[in-house]
Structure 1
Amino acid sequence: TSFFGILALVFALAVQCVDVFKQDFAPLSELEPFVRVDTYGGFLGNAGFLYLISTAILPLEQSMKEEVRPQFGKALAVAMVPVTVLNIAFAALAYWGYGDCLHSPTHCVQGLVVDNLPSGMLTDVVNALLSLDLLFTCIVFLFPMSQLLENEFLDETRFGEWPTELWRNALRTLMVVGIAVVAKGVPIFDMLTGLSGGFGNN
Protein backbone atom coordinates (compact mmCIF):
# COMPACT_ATOMS: atom_id res chain seq x y z
CA THR A 1 0.00 0.00 0.00
CA SER A 2 1.05 3.63 -0.33
CA PHE A 3 2.37 5.87 2.45
CA PHE A 4 -0.97 7.70 2.39
CA GLY A 5 -2.73 4.36 2.71
CA ILE A 6 -0.67 3.48 5.79
CA LEU A 7 -1.62 6.80 7.40
CA ALA A 8 -5.29 6.11 6.62
CA LEU A 9 -5.04 2.66 8.19
CA VAL A 10 -3.33 4.01 11.32
CA PHE A 11 -6.04 6.67 11.69
CA ALA A 12 -8.82 4.09 11.24
CA LEU A 13 -7.13 1.74 13.71
CA ALA A 14 -6.84 4.51 16.31
CA VAL A 15 -10.51 5.49 15.93
CA GLN A 16 -11.60 1.85 16.13
CA CYS A 17 -9.48 1.17 19.24
CA VAL A 18 -10.96 4.20 21.01
CA ASP A 19 -14.44 2.91 20.20
CA VAL A 20 -13.59 -0.61 21.39
CA PHE A 21 -12.40 0.71 24.75
CA LYS A 22 -15.75 2.49 25.19
CA GLN A 23 -17.56 -0.86 25.13
CA ASP A 24 -18.63 -2.93 28.13
CA PHE A 25 -16.15 -5.79 28.03
CA ALA A 26 -17.89 -9.09 28.75
CA PRO A 27 -16.13 -11.60 31.00
CA LEU A 28 -13.96 -13.88 28.87
CA SER A 29 -15.80 -16.91 30.25
CA GLU A 30 -19.04 -15.67 28.63
CA LEU A 31 -17.54 -15.37 25.15
CA GLU A 32 -17.49 -18.14 22.61
CA PRO A 33 -14.12 -19.95 22.41
CA PHE A 34 -11.57 -18.27 20.15
CA VAL A 35 -11.30 -21.49 18.12
CA ARG A 36 -14.48 -23.14 16.84
CA VAL A 37 -14.70 -25.91 14.27
CA ASP A 38 -17.89 -24.57 12.61
CA THR A 39 -16.40 -21.12 11.93
CA TYR A 40 -12.80 -22.16 11.28
CA GLY A 41 -13.21 -22.17 7.49
CA GLY A 42 -14.34 -18.54 7.49
CA PHE A 43 -11.45 -17.59 9.75
CA LEU A 44 -8.92 -19.40 7.58
CA GLY A 45 -10.14 -17.66 4.42
CA ASN A 46 -10.00 -14.24 6.05
CA ALA A 47 -6.57 -14.94 7.54
CA GLY A 48 -5.46 -15.94 4.04
CA PHE A 49 -6.87 -12.68 2.69
CA LEU A 50 -4.60 -10.78 5.07
CA TYR A 51 -1.58 -12.34 3.34
CA LEU A 52 -2.74 -11.93 -0.25
CA ILE A 53 0.16 -9.51 -0.60
CA SER A 54 1.99 -12.67 -1.70
CA THR A 55 0.45 -12.13 -5.16
CA ALA A 56 2.36 -8.86 -5.44
CA ILE A 57 5.61 -10.10 -3.88
CA LEU A 58 7.05 -11.84 -6.95
CA PRO A 59 6.76 -8.79 -9.27
CA LEU A 60 8.23 -6.58 -6.54
CA GLU A 61 11.19 -8.90 -6.02
CA GLN A 62 11.76 -9.27 -9.76
CA SER A 63 11.88 -5.50 -10.22
CA MET A 64 14.62 -5.08 -7.59
CA LYS A 65 18.28 -4.57 -8.43
CA GLU A 66 20.35 -7.76 -8.32
CA GLU A 67 22.65 -6.50 -5.56
CA VAL A 68 19.80 -5.84 -3.11
CA ARG A 69 17.50 -8.73 -4.06
CA PRO A 70 18.99 -11.16 -1.47
CA GLN A 71 17.83 -8.78 1.28
CA PHE A 72 14.20 -9.01 0.17
CA GLY A 73 13.35 -12.03 2.34
CA LYS A 74 14.71 -10.35 5.44
CA ALA A 75 12.77 -7.15 4.74
CA LEU A 76 9.61 -9.19 4.15
CA ALA A 77 9.98 -10.99 7.49
CA VAL A 78 10.57 -7.69 9.30
CA ALA A 79 7.34 -6.37 7.77
CA MET A 80 5.17 -9.48 8.23
CA VAL A 81 5.91 -10.28 11.88
CA PRO A 82 4.67 -6.98 13.37
CA VAL A 83 1.68 -6.97 10.98
CA THR A 84 0.71 -10.46 12.17
CA VAL A 85 1.10 -9.58 15.87
CA LEU A 86 -0.86 -6.34 15.44
CA ASN A 87 -3.71 -8.05 13.59
CA ILE A 88 -4.03 -10.82 16.17
CA ALA A 89 -4.03 -8.31 19.04
CA PHE A 90 -6.60 -6.07 17.32
CA ALA A 91 -8.87 -9.00 16.41
CA ALA A 92 -8.83 -10.32 19.99
CA LEU A 93 -9.52 -6.84 21.39
CA ALA A 94 -12.43 -6.22 18.99
CA TYR A 95 -13.91 -9.65 19.71
CA TRP A 96 -13.69 -9.06 23.44
CA GLY A 97 -15.02 -5.49 23.27
CA TYR A 98 -17.87 -5.94 20.80
CA GLY A 99 -18.78 -9.50 21.82
CA ASP A 100 -19.68 -12.58 19.80
CA CYS A 101 -22.75 -12.86 17.59
CA LEU A 102 -24.09 -16.05 19.18
CA HIS A 103 -24.72 -14.47 22.58
CA SER A 104 -25.63 -10.96 21.41
CA PRO A 105 -26.57 -10.97 17.71
CA THR A 106 -27.74 -7.34 17.78
CA HIS A 107 -24.44 -6.02 19.11
CA CYS A 108 -21.39 -8.07 18.21
CA VAL A 109 -18.19 -7.79 16.22
CA GLN A 110 -19.10 -7.46 12.53
CA GLY A 111 -17.35 -9.13 9.60
CA LEU A 112 -16.22 -5.65 8.55
CA VAL A 113 -15.15 -4.23 11.90
CA VAL A 114 -15.70 -0.58 10.92
CA ASP A 115 -19.42 -1.43 10.74
CA ASN A 116 -19.27 -1.45 14.55
CA LEU A 117 -18.46 2.27 14.62
CA PRO A 118 -21.40 4.57 15.44
CA SER A 119 -22.77 6.58 12.54
CA GLY A 120 -21.43 10.11 12.27
CA MET A 121 -18.89 12.33 10.57
CA LEU A 122 -15.86 10.59 12.12
CA THR A 123 -17.02 7.22 10.80
CA ASP A 124 -17.61 8.79 7.37
CA VAL A 125 -14.03 10.14 7.41
CA VAL A 126 -12.69 6.70 8.39
CA ASN A 127 -14.62 5.03 5.55
CA ALA A 128 -13.49 7.65 3.02
CA LEU A 129 -9.84 7.27 4.03
CA LEU A 130 -10.03 3.48 3.92
CA SER A 131 -11.64 3.66 0.47
CA LEU A 132 -8.75 5.80 -0.77
CA ASP A 133 -6.29 3.35 0.77
CA LEU A 134 -7.99 0.46 -1.04
CA LEU A 135 -7.93 2.41 -4.29
CA PHE A 136 -4.15 2.81 -4.12
CA THR A 137 -3.64 -0.76 -2.89
CA CYS A 138 -5.82 -2.14 -5.67
CA ILE A 139 -3.40 -0.74 -8.25
CA VAL A 140 -0.54 -2.76 -6.74
CA PHE A 141 -2.60 -5.96 -6.68
CA LEU A 142 -3.99 -5.55 -10.19
CA PHE A 143 -0.60 -4.94 -11.78
CA PRO A 144 0.52 -8.63 -11.93
CA MET A 145 -2.89 -9.74 -13.23
CA SER A 146 -3.04 -7.01 -15.88
CA GLN A 147 0.50 -7.92 -17.00
CA LEU A 148 -0.53 -11.56 -17.31
CA LEU A 149 -3.65 -10.78 -19.35
CA GLU A 150 -1.88 -8.28 -21.59
CA ASN A 151 0.93 -10.72 -22.36
CA GLU A 152 -1.59 -13.48 -23.02
CA PHE A 153 -3.98 -11.62 -25.32
CA LEU A 154 -1.85 -8.86 -26.87
CA ASP A 155 1.37 -8.69 -28.86
CA GLU A 156 4.05 -7.49 -26.46
CA THR A 157 6.16 -6.16 -29.34
CA ARG A 158 3.39 -3.69 -30.15
CA PHE A 159 3.17 -2.18 -26.65
CA GLY A 160 3.38 1.58 -26.96
CA GLU A 161 1.46 1.69 -30.25
CA TRP A 162 -1.86 3.51 -30.11
CA PRO A 163 -4.29 0.63 -30.97
CA THR A 164 -2.53 -1.77 -28.59
CA GLU A 165 -2.56 0.79 -25.79
CA LEU A 166 -6.32 1.17 -26.27
CA TRP A 167 -6.74 -2.59 -25.82
CA ARG A 168 -4.48 -2.57 -22.76
CA ASN A 169 -6.55 0.19 -21.16
CA ALA A 170 -9.76 -1.63 -22.10
CA LEU A 171 -8.53 -4.80 -20.36
CA ARG A 172 -7.58 -2.84 -17.24
CA THR A 173 -10.94 -1.06 -17.22
CA LEU A 174 -12.81 -4.37 -17.52
CA MET A 175 -10.85 -5.75 -14.56
CA VAL A 176 -11.76 -2.75 -12.38
CA VAL A 177 -15.42 -2.86 -13.45
CA GLY A 178 -15.52 -6.61 -12.75
CA ILE A 179 -14.13 -6.08 -9.26
CA ALA A 180 -16.66 -3.30 -8.59
CA VAL A 181 -19.55 -5.52 -9.74
CA VAL A 182 -18.44 -8.38 -7.48
CA ALA A 183 -17.91 -6.02 -4.53
CA LYS A 184 -21.38 -4.52 -5.01
CA GLY A 185 -23.03 -7.88 -5.63
CA VAL A 186 -21.75 -9.65 -2.50
CA PRO A 187 -23.48 -8.09 0.52
CA ILE A 188 -21.43 -9.95 3.15
CA PHE A 189 -17.93 -8.48 3.08
CA ASP A 190 -16.24 -11.10 5.26
CA MET A 191 -17.61 -13.85 2.99
CA LEU A 192 -16.02 -12.11 0.00
CA THR A 193 -12.67 -11.67 1.74
CA GLY A 194 -12.81 -15.26 2.99
CA LEU A 195 -13.37 -16.61 -0.52
CA SER A 196 -10.70 -14.30 -1.94
CA GLY A 197 -8.22 -15.43 0.70
CA GLY A 198 -9.05 -19.09 0.18
CA PHE A 199 -8.72 -19.04 -3.61
CA GLY A 200 -6.06 -16.34 -3.91
CA ASN A 201 -3.44 -18.21 -1.88
CA ASN A 202 -3.74 -21.44 -3.91
Structure 2
Amino acid sequence: MKKVLILALALMMGGVSATMSAQTKEYTKQQKAFEKEAEKTAKKQAKELKKQKWEYTGVLPLEMALKNFYLETTDFGGTKQGIEHEVVAQTVSAGEKALLLNAQSIYAQEVQAMLGADLANSTNSDNERAFEEYIARVAAKVKHEFQGDIRRVILLKKRTDNGKQWTLRAYFIVDADSGRLRAKRIAEEVERNNGAIDSIHDKVFGEEK
Protein backbone atom coordinates (compact mmCIF):
# COMPACT_ATOMS: atom_id res chain seq x y z
CA MET A 1 0.00 0.00 0.00
CA LYS A 2 2.82 2.33 0.92
CA LYS A 3 4.54 1.66 -2.41
CA VAL A 4 1.30 2.39 -4.26
CA LEU A 5 0.94 5.75 -2.49
CA ILE A 6 4.54 6.66 -3.24
CA LEU A 7 4.04 5.73 -6.90
CA ALA A 8 0.83 7.78 -7.10
CA LEU A 9 2.56 10.76 -5.49
CA ALA A 10 5.47 10.45 -7.90
CA LEU A 11 3.08 10.40 -10.85
CA MET A 12 1.28 13.49 -9.52
CA MET A 13 4.53 15.36 -9.01
CA GLY A 14 5.65 14.34 -12.45
CA GLY A 15 2.44 15.71 -13.92
CA VAL A 16 2.82 19.02 -12.07
CA SER A 17 6.45 19.26 -13.15
CA ALA A 18 5.52 18.59 -16.77
CA THR A 19 2.81 21.27 -16.64
CA MET A 20 5.19 23.82 -15.14
CA SER A 21 7.83 22.95 -17.71
CA ALA A 22 5.34 23.43 -20.54
CA GLN A 23 4.24 26.78 -19.09
CA THR A 24 7.86 27.90 -18.75
CA LYS A 25 8.59 26.94 -22.34
CA GLU A 26 5.51 28.82 -23.55
CA TYR A 27 6.45 31.90 -21.53
CA THR A 28 10.01 31.80 -22.88
CA LYS A 29 8.66 31.44 -26.40
CA GLN A 30 6.37 34.46 -25.94
CA GLN A 31 9.17 36.57 -24.46
CA LYS A 32 11.46 35.75 -27.38
CA ALA A 33 8.70 36.74 -29.79
CA PHE A 34 8.18 40.04 -27.94
CA GLU A 35 11.92 40.72 -27.94
CA LYS A 36 12.16 40.03 -31.66
CA GLU A 37 9.22 42.33 -32.40
CA ALA A 38 10.59 45.07 -30.10
CA GLU A 39 13.98 44.86 -31.81
CA LYS A 40 12.35 45.10 -35.24
CA THR A 41 10.19 48.06 -34.20
CA ALA A 42 13.10 49.85 -32.50
CA LYS A 43 15.34 49.43 -35.53
CA LYS A 44 12.69 50.87 -37.84
CA GLN A 45 11.92 53.75 -35.45
CA ALA A 46 15.59 54.62 -34.89
CA LYS A 47 16.20 54.72 -38.63
CA GLU A 48 13.23 57.06 -39.12
CA LEU A 49 14.29 59.35 -36.25
CA LYS A 50 17.82 59.67 -37.61
CA LYS A 51 16.40 60.44 -41.03
CA GLN A 52 14.35 63.24 -39.44
CA LYS A 53 17.62 64.56 -37.90
CA TRP A 54 16.64 64.19 -34.24
CA GLU A 55 19.52 64.70 -31.80
CA TYR A 56 19.99 61.99 -29.18
CA THR A 57 22.60 62.06 -26.39
CA GLY A 58 21.65 59.06 -24.28
CA VAL A 59 24.17 56.59 -22.87
CA LEU A 60 22.77 53.63 -24.82
CA PRO A 61 22.56 53.59 -28.62
CA LEU A 62 19.16 54.91 -29.72
CA GLU A 63 18.06 51.59 -31.18
CA MET A 64 18.82 49.76 -27.93
CA ALA A 65 17.16 52.47 -25.82
CA LEU A 66 14.00 52.20 -27.93
CA LYS A 67 14.03 48.41 -27.69
CA ASN A 68 14.31 48.56 -23.89
CA PHE A 69 11.50 51.13 -23.83
CA TYR A 70 9.19 48.92 -25.86
CA LEU A 71 9.97 45.80 -23.81
CA GLU A 72 8.84 47.56 -20.64
CA THR A 73 5.40 48.29 -22.12
CA THR A 74 2.37 46.02 -22.11
CA ASP A 75 2.30 45.85 -25.92
CA PHE A 76 5.58 43.96 -25.83
CA GLY A 77 5.03 41.73 -22.80
CA GLY A 78 6.02 44.25 -20.13
CA THR A 79 3.97 45.60 -17.23
CA LYS A 80 4.31 49.36 -17.77
CA GLN A 81 2.62 51.98 -19.93
CA GLY A 82 4.54 53.98 -22.52
CA ILE A 83 3.84 57.65 -23.23
CA GLU A 84 5.38 59.54 -26.15
CA HIS A 85 4.97 63.30 -26.30
CA GLU A 86 6.34 66.21 -28.35
CA VAL A 87 6.51 69.96 -27.66
CA VAL A 88 8.00 73.14 -29.15
CA ALA A 89 9.80 75.47 -26.72
CA GLN A 90 12.18 78.42 -26.63
CA THR A 91 14.82 76.45 -24.72
CA VAL A 92 15.62 72.79 -24.14
CA SER A 93 15.13 73.23 -20.39
CA ALA A 94 11.66 74.72 -20.84
CA GLY A 95 10.79 71.96 -23.29
CA GLU A 96 11.85 69.24 -20.86
CA LYS A 97 9.62 70.72 -18.15
CA ALA A 98 6.70 71.00 -20.57
CA LEU A 99 7.14 67.38 -21.65
CA LEU A 100 7.03 66.15 -18.06
CA LEU A 101 3.98 68.29 -17.26
CA ASN A 102 2.18 66.98 -20.34
CA ALA A 103 3.01 63.38 -19.45
CA GLN A 104 1.79 63.98 -15.90
CA SER A 105 -1.39 65.57 -17.25
CA ILE A 106 -2.12 62.53 -19.40
CA TYR A 107 -1.51 60.22 -16.47
CA ALA A 108 -3.46 62.49 -14.12
CA GLN A 109 -6.60 61.85 -16.14
CA GLU A 110 -6.12 58.11 -15.67
CA VAL A 111 -5.45 58.49 -11.95
CA GLN A 112 -8.53 60.69 -11.63
CA ALA A 113 -10.64 58.01 -13.29
CA MET A 114 -9.19 55.34 -11.00
CA LEU A 115 -9.77 57.43 -7.90
CA GLY A 116 -13.31 58.34 -8.89
CA ALA A 117 -14.46 54.94 -10.06
CA ASP A 118 -16.05 53.78 -6.81
CA LEU A 119 -16.24 56.92 -4.67
CA ALA A 120 -19.13 59.17 -3.75
CA ASN A 121 -19.22 62.72 -5.10
CA SER A 122 -20.13 64.40 -1.83
CA THR A 123 -19.69 63.96 1.90
CA ASN A 124 -20.66 65.31 5.31
CA SER A 125 -18.32 65.69 8.25
CA ASP A 126 -18.99 66.64 11.87
CA ASN A 127 -15.51 68.11 12.17
CA GLU A 128 -14.86 70.23 9.08
CA ARG A 129 -11.32 71.20 10.09
CA ALA A 130 -10.30 67.61 10.78
CA PHE A 131 -11.83 66.58 7.48
CA GLU A 132 -9.93 69.28 5.57
CA GLU A 133 -6.68 68.21 7.23
CA TYR A 134 -7.40 64.63 6.23
CA ILE A 135 -8.02 65.66 2.63
CA ALA A 136 -4.79 67.67 2.52
CA ARG A 137 -2.80 64.79 4.02
CA VAL A 138 -4.14 62.24 1.54
CA ALA A 139 -3.72 64.66 -1.37
CA ALA A 140 -0.07 65.30 -0.47
CA LYS A 141 0.59 61.58 -0.26
CA VAL A 142 -1.05 60.94 -3.62
CA LYS A 143 0.83 63.77 -5.30
CA HIS A 144 4.17 62.51 -3.97
CA GLU A 145 3.55 58.97 -5.21
CA PHE A 146 2.01 60.25 -8.43
CA GLN A 147 5.21 62.05 -9.42
CA GLY A 148 7.22 58.89 -8.87
CA ASP A 149 5.13 56.87 -11.31
CA ILE A 150 6.55 58.59 -14.40
CA ARG A 151 10.10 58.04 -15.62
CA ARG A 152 11.64 59.58 -18.73
CA VAL A 153 13.79 57.09 -20.63
CA ILE A 154 14.52 58.83 -23.94
CA LEU A 155 14.84 62.50 -24.91
CA LEU A 156 15.19 63.73 -28.50
CA LYS A 157 15.60 67.30 -29.71
CA LYS A 158 16.10 69.33 -32.88
CA ARG A 159 15.94 72.96 -33.94
CA THR A 160 12.76 74.21 -35.57
CA ASP A 161 12.92 75.32 -39.20
CA ASN A 162 13.38 78.98 -38.21
CA GLY A 163 16.23 78.04 -35.87
CA LYS A 164 14.77 80.05 -32.99
CA GLN A 165 13.06 77.26 -31.05
CA TRP A 166 13.48 73.63 -30.13
CA THR A 167 11.24 70.68 -30.86
CA LEU A 168 11.58 68.03 -28.16
CA ARG A 169 10.19 64.52 -28.01
CA ALA A 170 10.28 62.33 -24.92
CA TYR A 171 9.46 58.71 -24.19
CA PHE A 172 8.13 58.10 -20.69
CA ILE A 173 7.50 54.87 -18.81
CA VAL A 174 4.51 54.94 -16.46
CA ASP A 175 4.10 52.45 -13.63
CA ALA A 176 0.37 51.94 -14.18
CA ASP A 177 0.24 49.04 -11.71
CA SER A 178 1.50 51.37 -8.99
CA GLY A 179 -1.21 53.86 -9.94
CA ARG A 180 -3.93 51.24 -9.75
CA LEU A 181 -2.74 50.00 -6.36
CA ARG A 182 -2.51 53.55 -5.04
CA ALA A 183 -5.96 54.40 -6.38
CA LYS A 184 -7.41 51.33 -4.70
CA ARG A 185 -5.71 52.16 -1.41
CA ILE A 186 -6.80 55.81 -1.49
CA ALA A 187 -10.32 54.77 -2.48
CA GLU A 188 -10.50 52.53 0.58
CA GLU A 189 -9.19 55.32 2.81
CA VAL A 190 -11.70 57.79 1.45
CA GLU A 191 -14.59 55.36 1.74
CA ARG A 192 -13.72 54.82 5.39
CA ASN A 193 -14.00 58.59 5.80
CA ASN A 194 -17.30 58.99 3.89
CA GLY A 195 -15.86 59.84 0.46
CA ALA A 196 -14.85 63.20 -1.06
CA ILE A 197 -13.49 62.57 -4.52
CA ASP A 198 -14.11 66.17 -5.61
CA SER A 199 -12.11 67.65 -2.74
CA ILE A 200 -9.26 65.21 -3.24
CA HIS A 201 -9.19 65.82 -6.97
CA ASP A 202 -8.98 69.59 -6.50
CA LYS A 203 -6.12 69.24 -4.01
CA VAL A 204 -4.16 66.72 -6.07
CA PHE A 205 -4.55 68.19 -9.52
CA GLY A 206 -4.99 71.85 -8.59
CA GLU A 207 -8.14 72.40 -10.60
CA GLU A 208 -11.83 71.78 -10.55
CA LYS A 209 -13.33 68.90 -12.50
TM-score of the two chains, using structure 1 as the length reference: 0.30
* Bigger relative contact order, structure 1 or 2 (CA pairs below 8 A, ≥6 apart): 1
Give the structure with the larger strand fraction.
2
Give the structure with the larger helix fraction.
1
Larger Rg: 2
